Amino acid sequence: MKLQKLMKEVPQDLLAVEPFASWQELSPSFDKRPLGDCTLVLATVKEEDFEPLVGVFQSREEAMGAFLSFAVEHGWEEVPQTYCVYHAQEVEGRLVAGLLHQGQVSTYEQTTLEQMVQVMARVHRVVVYSYEVVTYVKDLYPEVDHKVYAVARKLAKVLKRAPELEELAKIYGVLLESLEDRLKLIEKLLENPVRTPFGEVELPPYSYPLKSCD
């Protein structure tokens, strides 16, 4: 299990930091990386470390789940390894949404959004271009806010403005004739550097923490 957290100041003894202070049976290893004004702290906990806790918990998996929940309460998250790309638009007055997940594109309408949300719930990150499309699913899945990686917001942080997706399509030489075209272009933007009308931009990987350390 790999966890991560952004810190402004890193304590000398990370084992004294929660959740590790309360789970002294574990022997995590730590890695630190500078990230802007923050430090990205990565903690690796071996699955075998949870074996002695079987008895207190019914299984190793249950122990790991309890530890992860406790870690999340203290601002840590599991290092994201899975994502889906999400976009939505109105077509002839009706909402059509789409997901690109593991190379496959699926489309949904208003009546099937719950099926789409079930896929979102299984991944660590939901990648969108513009945050505004998230409003279509927030009522069904409020937790999505903690998973959204919005490319336009990341670009705006660097450029002080974000180009329209159509502008980027021209630079990348693709036509946005369908929802699938848009989803594939958004996924392409996860590859650095991102080419924009204002120059190339290096964006943080989708796997980095979404919250700042302020």
| C-beta atoms surrounding 136 within 10 Å | 18
What was the pLDDT predicted at 181?
97
pLDDT score recorded for residue 214? 58
Q: Please list, residue by residue across 6-29, b when 16 or more beta carbons sit within 10 angstroms of its beta carbon and e when fewer do.
A: bbeeeeeebeebebbeebeebebe
- Identify the pLDDT of residue 91: 82
Q: Residue 14's pLDDT is what?
A: 96
pTM over 0.95: no
Per-residue pLDDT reduced to its tens digit, 162-173: 999 999 999 999
Confidence (pLDDT) at 151: 97
C-alpha distances in angstroms, 86 versus 7, 42, 94, 111, 181? 29, 28, 17, 17, 12
Q: What is the pLDDT of residues 90-139, one digit of tens each?
A: 888 889 999 999 999 999 998 999 999 999 999 999 999 999 999 999 99
Q: Are 19 and 75 in contact (CB under 8 A)?
A: no
Which tens digit of pLDDT belongs to each residue from 41-97?
999 999 999 999 998 999 999 999 999 999 999 999 999 999 999 999 888 888 999
Q: Give 129's contacts (C-beta < 8 A, 6+ positions apart).
A: 87, 150, 151, 152, 165, 182, 186, 189
Q: How far apart are CA 203 and CA 149, in angstroms?
A: 11
Q: pLDDT band for position 13 (50/70/90)?
A: very high
- Over range 11-34, report the average pLDDT: 95
Whole-number pLDDT of residue 183: 98
What average pLDDT is seen over the chain? Answer: 94
